[in-house]
Chains A and B, each alone.
Chain A
Amino acid sequence: MSPMEQWISFSTILRKEIRRFMRIWVQTLLPPAITMALYFVIFGQLIGSRIGEMGGFTYMQFVVPGLIMMSVLTNSYSNVVSSFYGAKFQHSVEELLVSPTPNYVILVGYVLGGVARGLAVGFIVTLLSLFFTQLAIHNLAVIIAIVALTSIVFSLAGFINAVFANSFDDISIVPTFVLTPLTYLGGVFYSINLLPEFWQGVSKLNPILYMVNVFRYGVLGVSDIDVVSAFIGVTVFVVVLFIYCLHLLNAGTRLRA
């Protein structure tokens, strides 16, 4: 395929993905908005007012960046896992597999579909948060870069889950038993400086901690961990996961008999 044909194929996949989550916005865009609004009310307003300051900011200011990041990563993940598994389940993925579209174009198309939903939800949640607190922007470039990288990492992870899933149960196991605990323990609701040293060390094994803290740095200018090393770590994740996903597609794992 020529570069132009590859671009057409890529834009077809991306358009299809965006139209899919827009068509079912009641399932894809509305629930995170409602959930995050509840988080803002309960953790930010009701409980947060009793907690006082965290990291030199009101609890609401501290928790909002983490909650935005939480919605970005969970939605990027669930978009790709549900869309690609759905295509596998209905066998409509065969439309792509029989076509001359190169595997990396298929992967980039699905991943950017996940990124699009992650960003859309992130934008909605950010707008909602403005009803509860004021958001300053410390470093816009850091915000954009970390949101994009995080969204890509979780879209790729969702893709891997979809490839190996054999049933709809399998696509909810990872979000429930892996993603949710890691998110809750990833410094969304607290600073790891509050933890004993041992648990601080354990927390540093959680990749979500780095993403949340870099995003918080972009918004508030504070972070529990070194921003540069966090960026390097997340970028390495992107590269490793991309190569692995491409390997799965090239080998036809769980896609070709």
Chain B
Amino acid sequence: MTTSALTIKNLAKTYGNGFQALKGISLEVQPGDFFALLGPNGAGKSTTIGVICSLVNKTGGEVSIFGKDIDTDFSAAKRLLGVVPQEFNFNQFESVHDVVLNQAGYYGLARGLAKERTEKYLKKLGLWEKRKEASRTLSGGMKRRLMIARALVHEPSLLILDEPTAGVDIELRRSMWEFLEEINAAGTTIILTTHYLEEAESLCRNIAIINQGEIVTNTSMRELLSQLNKEMFILDTKESVAGLPEVEGYGVSQVGEHCLEVEVEKGQSLNELFDQLSKAGVHIVSMRNKANRLEELFVSLVSTNNKEAAQ
């Protein structure tokens, strides 16, 4: 039987002010997985990550990394884990090189190997040219990459990234995605939290959604997306649409002079839609999804959970 990369059992955290951030969550992440942990702000994602990397003291439950308990076998557990936190947490006055090199030292890597790894990961993340500069002088995107290089320097088996692409431009975000896919393909298990749901949809194979300290859903991405029974499309028209065309069986609304919004049920034919629009004299020149599919599900699951909690 394979040991899970991460096992969380009945994890609870109540802060000193009485706020119950985690209400006994359980979660399992398999080795080699690319796992998304999603949830609205304040849902408990960062608290969960904080407990895993021992920056937050849990009030109940168990956590183990590749079978190593974070309480009883903390040294072995920490060695297997790399964390990229949400906030910048490196010494702003140290050079880029020293930030990574020191972290290697804290994991007990011999000086020679530490220097070798520092060079390897600074080069991989495009920071080698900046190695002598004070870390505070880096741009936001570079600071994020520096934290990824730092988290990888001891080559952990499990990498947790807490909103790694927040505030990063699209080009850089995509290059980060490629890099993360590359290290995941090389065998590193990745857990990702993000507010960019298209990021989770395109990268992750399994997903858990957390809300108000509870796991709302924990399933595969494919399974989750198959629950979606409606999709919204935006249709751009050739000519301006004078009035709303009559289309039976579809919810159509006009959102611009050359733009219609159509709600399509799962399994409903698109050909029929186009036939009806053609008959109404509307010529479609392009079509796209209105919103990210995962986003719709996310909003629906979280709002259902919020209503249940309110009752």
Contacts and interface: CB of A to CB of B under 8 A. Distances in A.
Given A101-B106, A257-B15, A8 B57 contact: no
A108 to B, nearest CB: 14
Nearest to A97: B55
A44 B78 CA distance: 55
The dominant DSSP class at the B interface is loop
Interface centre among B54, B89, B93, B106 (most CB of A within 10 A): B106
A87 B91 contact: yes
A4 B92 contact: no
B55 A12 contact: no
Interface in B64-97: 74-76, 78-79, 81, 83, 85, 87-94
A100 interface: yes
A167 interface: no
B107 interface: yes
Contact of B57 (A13, A94, A257): A257
A2 interface: yes
Interface string A16-47: 10001001000000000000000000000000
Contact of A98 (B15, B76, B81): B81
Contact of A94 (B85, B98, B109): B85
B102 A100 contact: no
A50 to B, nearest CB: 46
B91 A256 contact: no
A20 B111 CA distance: 19
Given A91-B87, A92-B89, A16 B111 contact: no
Interface string B98-124: 100011011111110000000000000
Count class of interface residues, chain B? 35 or more
Interface string A227-257: 0000000000000000000000000100011
Contacts of B185: none
A9 interface: yes
Contact of A4 (B85, B94, B107, B108): B108
A96 B85 contact: no
Contacts of A5: 107-108
A106 to B, nearest CB: 9
B102 A95 contact: yes
Contacts of A256: 54-57
Contacts of A23: 93
Given A98-B55, A257-B50, A257-B55, A12 B85 contact: no
B54 A98 contact: yes
A202 interface: no
A77 B19 CA distance: 37
B108 A95 contact: no
Nearest to A7: B108
23 contacts: A5-B108, A8-B110, A9-B105, A23-B93, A90-B90, A91-B85, A91-B88, A95-B89, A95-B103, A95-B150, A96-B106, A97-B54, A98-B78, A98-B81, A99-B78, A99-B106, A100-B74, A100-B76, A101-B106, A101-B108, A256-B55, A257-B50, A257-B55
Given A90-B89, A256-B54, 7 more contacts: A1-B108, A9-B108, A95-B102, A97-B55, A98-B83, A256-B55, A257-B15
Query: Can you list the 10 inter-chain pairs with the closest CB atoms, starting with the nearest?
Result: A5-B108, A12-B105, A91-B89, A99-B106, A100-B75, A92-B91, A100-B78, A257-B56, A98-B53, A94-B89
